[in-house]
Structure 1
Amino acid sequence: MQKSVLRRVIVLGVVAILGIVGMQSYWVVTTWGLNDTEFSQKAKLALYGVARQIAAANNADLPSQDIIRQQSSNYFIVNIESEIDALQLEALMQEELVRLHLDVPFEYAIFDCTSDQMAYGAYCQAPSGNENMDLDLTGSYLPPDKELLYYFGVKFPTRTGYIWEKMQLVFFLSIILALTVAFFIYSVIVILRQRRLASMQKDFIDNMTHEFKTPLSTIRIAAGVFLRDERIQKDARLSRYAQLIHQQYERLNGQVEKVLNIAQIEKGSFEVKKERVDLQTLLPDLLNSTRARTDELSGELTTNFPREPLPLLADPVHLSNILHNLLDNAVKYSGETPRITVSGIHEGNNLRMSISDEGPGIAAEHRDRLFEKFYRVPTGDVHDVKGFGLGLFYVAQICKVHGWPIQVDSEVGTGTTITITFPILPVPQAIAT
């Protein structure tokens, strides 16, 4: 993953996470406020209903204002200006709480004029009989209000627990969100660490590959000297060794060139120098080299190409490389006796060039991944064909840069055909005639 792409992903991820966390926090705060407001309103309605019924029982009128004073979040004072019976107050309070579906325990106290203190009444469980709120609050202090004369106070000690209970789903979702944020942060750390390791590995491979170029050049020169030496040519054994050295040089140099080209593609410094190239001038050398290999293995190479010029707009070096890769793969994966067919068919202004083999073929689940970097079709514990899985990746990248469609047709047991569609340039009239 490129650095700029990774940076954008992280920035967008952080912005999205911050937005979600902000919305979740706002939702939690708002929901808490709504539940708190709902609790206070229900408590005030219950207390007002109790005050109204006590006043009616005493044939008294309620004060014109300040009937209910909220001293704190869970403590209320009710100004009634008439005599208050503790048992009546407790019964009416439970009745009102049941009516309003406010199932919370409460404790109450009545102001005693003689002692100028609140006379504690009792701690009453929730009207629904919910015994799981086991609080030993008997004798807790309920402060008086010095401005009033006839009043009682009611305290709801489990108000906070009641709101928490109503917000269980909200807090559960918040925990899920927190875990998601933690996972995102962990994922970013892992991605950055893996990217750093991959970058180090890539730099090492690139540097090592460049370092190979000098000794490879020396080996090529030495192998050439050996092959041209008359004394070595006369000695069959030494001549075979010299050829072996040259062949291994060609093989290793080809792998090094693949790695270097792919490194340039990934860095974005890959350049394709397109020019007019006649495919007919490139094919003979490639086909002759392939035919020599197939003949050596008692195989066969069949060609079926148009005879007229086939001008393309392409980079000749990379065009030769990808055709060499495809022919090389066809030989390597055709078994002990390779039978290769190279054909070209005109379709309008295009040439469909196909390279076919009669090898074991490729299963459907592997065909879509053939052009992935480092991917090789699994062959179990047998690795009779050497390679890094870079050849077809390089072919796909070159075709992509040139705009050439590439297609793979294969079935297990029937062989594989790879087809590239080349746009053909117009042939000058003088050449055409």
Structure 2
Amino acid sequence: MLNFKKGYIVVFTISVLGLAFIQYQYLKIGLNLAKVQFNSKVGQAVQTIKQDLETNNELTFLVAQAITKNDAYFKLSVDSIQDASRYFLNDFLVDRLLQNGIKSDFSYRLYTNDSLLYLTSPNYIASQEEQLNFPIVLSGYLPKELNKRLILELQFEDLNKYFFSQLNGLTIPSLIFIIAIILVVFWVLRSFYWQRNVITTTNQFINNLTHELKTPVFSIGLATKLLEEKSDDSLKPFVSIIREQNDKLKVQIEKVLDLAGLEHGKSVIKFQLINFKSNLLALAQSFLKLSELEGVKFDFNFSDEDYFILCEPNHLENAVSNLLENAKKYSKNSPEILLNTFISHNFLHIEVKDNGVGIPEKELKNVFKKFHRVGSGDLHTVKGYGLGLSYVKEIVRLHNGKISLESKMNEGTTVTIKLPIKLKGYE
């Protein structure tokens, strides 16, 4: 169980890390695409800005007066003209960038080849790290007025933040889904291991209880044997009842212990290659004698070939015997039971048919569950603990076999065990 638990944790951890890695790769691809798209939009905006600044218009005229420090046309100081130019040029650039779908914060500077700086944006900060620069070599009116090569450089700040904001529709839902998956899987595993602990504790309690019951059952059996030897004829029927009920209790205790041992791998089953036909024949003959005493019509039909299988005879006999007892318990007033065995497609088929009360269709999927009891029809009148079919299924599983059940209400039930046939002498 501990190894399975570690395996679940390892698989879950690898899956989450793998999912995170895939999301990271998708994020890188998304960022690259965002950068390509951003550069394309800036390229389009640059062309528009360059064209608009080529001609002599109100904006270029104001900028020209600011960079040449000419106040002849305005009743303002040179500093005021330059401040106005900064803001008007900034608003112009914001408008042209928005027209091309660019909402990122930016700054600009207007300078010449000799690094002479003329104008900067109101939010300009020199030597900004991790910024993306787009220089625009101006042509037309402004360079002619200055008689120099004039460059307008756009500087975009915090581009990674901008790109991530463009991918919020991908990154944020991905993170939310990953966190949700982790929480759900953690809750499921926690619930699963809690239930396993409850089941383990319950099984331990049942096993301890059944072991404690074996001592008084043995003592009752011994006392019953002594009473039977010394009692007169008038008391023997009562002693017989005590012995019969004590034997039933002993069988139920052994069934619980066997099933618990098989489920936890504590019982060592030694398989051997035998002709199981003789075992089935002895079991059928013994059940026939009991059936005659109880007024049950029982018949068996075996095919001619040998039934060589790899099995543990005692457990397998108990499984078949359990099916026969169930057929008798859940029968009508005139019970008819048939044990039919044959070989088909390299499998030994063991069929137990009865004309009993049947099982409701909705209960068929649960009949092999441990402690399950069918509670409809007349089945609740039969005493038991819901261990028989669970034990049979576990025995068949350990023999690499299959078990199936078909039933119709008020018509009867057929239980079929299929066990792989081995060639004689093959180990």
C-alpha distance in 1 between matches for 2:222 and 2:348: 39
CA RMSD of aligned residues (A): 4.3
Q: 1:188 is matched with which residue? A: 189
Which of 312, 317, 323 in structure 2 is aligned with 1:315? Answer: 312
User: Shift in Å at residue 416 of structure 1?
Assistant: 0.7
Q: 2:216 is matched with which residue? A: 215
Distance 1:57 1:158, change over 3 A: farther
SS of 1:361's equivalent in the other structure is coil
Letter in 1 for 2:10: V
C-alpha distance in 2 between matches for 1:142 and 1:37: 25
Equivalent pairs counted in the alignment come to: 368
Distance 1:273 1:56, change over 3 A: same
Letter in 2 for 1:324: S
- Would the aligned equivalents of 2:217 and 2:250 in 1 still touch at CA under 8 Å? yes
Letter in 2 for 1:201: T
User: Shift in Å at residue 370 of structure 1?
Assistant: 3.1
Q: 1:65 is matched with which residue? A: none
Q: 1:226 is matched with which residue? A: 227
Q: 1:248 is matched with which residue? A: 245
Structure 2, unmatched stretches of 5+, are 62-83, 112-116, 128-145
C-alpha distance in 2 between matches for 1:49 and 1:383: 88
Deviations 1:170-228 (CA, angstroms, capped at 9, x unpaired): 32232122211111122222222222222222222222222222222212211222222
Matches within 5 A, 1:118-267: 120=122, 141-143=123-125, 160=161, 163-164=164-165, 166-229=167-230, 231=231, 233-235=232-234, 238-267=235-264
C-alpha distance in 1 between matches for 2:90 and 2:285: 110
SS of 1:359's equivalent in the other structure is coil
Q: Once structures 1 and 2 are overlaid, which stretch shifts more, 397-406 or 101-110? A: 101-110
C-alpha distance in 1 between matches for 2:25 and 2:303: 76
Q: TM-score, normalised by structure 1?
A: 0.69
Q: 2:298 is matched with which residue? A: 302
Structure 1, unmatched stretches of 5+, are 61-82, 121-140, 427-433
Q: 1:372 is matched with which residue? A: 369
Letter in 2 for 1:334: S
Matches within 5 A, 1:21-170: 21-28=20-27, 31-32=30-31, 34-35=33-34, 38-39=37-38, 42-43=41-42, 46-47=45-46, 49-51=48-50, 53-55=52-54, 57=56, 87=88, 90-91=91-92, 93-98=94-99, 100-102=100-102, 120=122, 141-143=123-125, 160=161, 163-164=164-165, 166-170=167-171
Q: 2:272 is matched with which residue? A: 274
Q: Higher helix fraction: Structure 1 or Structure 2?
A: 2
Matches within 5 A, 1:278-293: 278-279=278-279, 280-292=281-293
C-alpha distance in 1 between matches for 2:225 and 2:307: 34
User: Shift in Å at residue 90 of structure 1?
Assistant: 3.5
User: Shift in Å at residue 322 of structure 1?
Assistant: 1.5
- Would the aligned equivalents of 1:311 and 1:425 in 2 still touch at CA under 8 Å? no
C-alpha distance in 2 between matches for 1:84 and 1:424: 99
Identity %: 25
SS of 1:305's equivalent in the other structure is strand
Q: TM-score, normalised by structure 2?
A: 0.70
C-alpha distance in 1 between matches for 2:342 and 2:376: 33
C-alpha distance in 1 between matches for 2:48 and 2:170: 32
Distance 1:180 1:370, change over 3 A: same
C-alpha distance in 2 between matches for 1:281 and 1:220: 26
SS of 2:358's equivalent in the other structure is coil
SS of 1:334's equivalent in the other structure is coil
- Would the aligned equivalents of 1:275 and 1:316 in 2 still touch at CA under 8 Å? no
- Would the aligned equivalents of 1:360 and 1:415 in 2 still touch at CA under 8 Å? yes
SS of 1:419's equivalent in the other structure is strand
Deviations 1:20-43 (CA, angstroms, capped at 9, x unpaired): 022224433553465366446644
Letter in 1 for 2:9: I
C-alpha distance in 2 between matches for 1:357 and 1:52: 97
User: Shift in Å at residue 256 of structure 1?
Assistant: 1.4
Q: Once structures 1 and 2 are overlaid, which stretch shifts more, 322-331 or 301-310? A: 301-310
